[in-house]
Amino acid sequence: MNSIDPIEVEARLERLTEACRAAGLRMTHQRMEIFREVAQTGEHPDADTIFKRVRERLPMVSHDTVYRTLASLEEMGLVSRVDPICGRARYDANRDEHHHFICRECGSISDLYLNDEPVLPAGIENLGEVVSLHVQVRGVCLNCKKTNQGA
């Protein structure tokens, strides 16, 4: 598992506590554990993976609770949803400005930091107001490349 520094995980959990307080939501154990699953990894898990991992600790958690909690976490800006073209939506608790590299072979998603933010084309304002920009770079990750070369 692509682990995040424990200090960063604690900072993310503190943001959850503050966001719940601001939204008037109770800090439930289920909400905390569902968020912790996303916050402690850089692997961008999907809802089913989160469900299975949380269920190991909280056997009574339901799929519905996981989906509703992820939706509310996204609404509060604590997680973002990464939608690969093929496959299930994945979740990311990294709030830094970043983009994603998606392996077309295994589906792994890695954070990608660009030195310069992409430039929007002239005339984009004629299409509407841009509220966010996210780049998804698709390719073959090093693990898959090694596996394919060795085959």
C-alpha separations of 103 from 6, 110, 142, 143 in Å: 27, 9, 9, 10
Which pTM does this prediction carry?
0.84
Q: Which of 113, 90, 89 lies closest to 100, judged by CA? A: 113
Q: Give the DSSP per-residue string, 123-143.
A: TGGGT--------EEEE--HH
Distances (CA, A) of 38 to 1, 65, 128, 132: 11, 15, 32, 22
Residues 82, 134: Cα–Cα separation, whole Å: 10
Instruction: Indicate if the alpha-carbon torsion angle 87, 131, 35, 44 is positive or negative.
Output: positive
At residue 132, the pLDDT reads: 84
Per-residue pLDDT tens over the stretch 112-147: 999 888 888 899 989 999 888 888 999 999 999 988
What is the pLDDT averaged over residues 28-41?
Answer: 96
Q: What are phi and psi of 43, to 5 degrees?
A: -85, -5
Looking at residue 85, its pLDDT comes to 74
β-bridge partners, 46: 90
Tell me the per-residue pLDDT of 38-92, one tens digit each, with 9 for 90 and over: 999 999 999 999 999 999 999 999 999 999 999 999 999 999 999 877 778 999 9
Per-residue pLDDT band at 151 (split at 50, 70, 90)? low
Domains annotated on the chain, with CATH: 6-82 (1.10.10.10), 96-150 (3.30.1490.190)
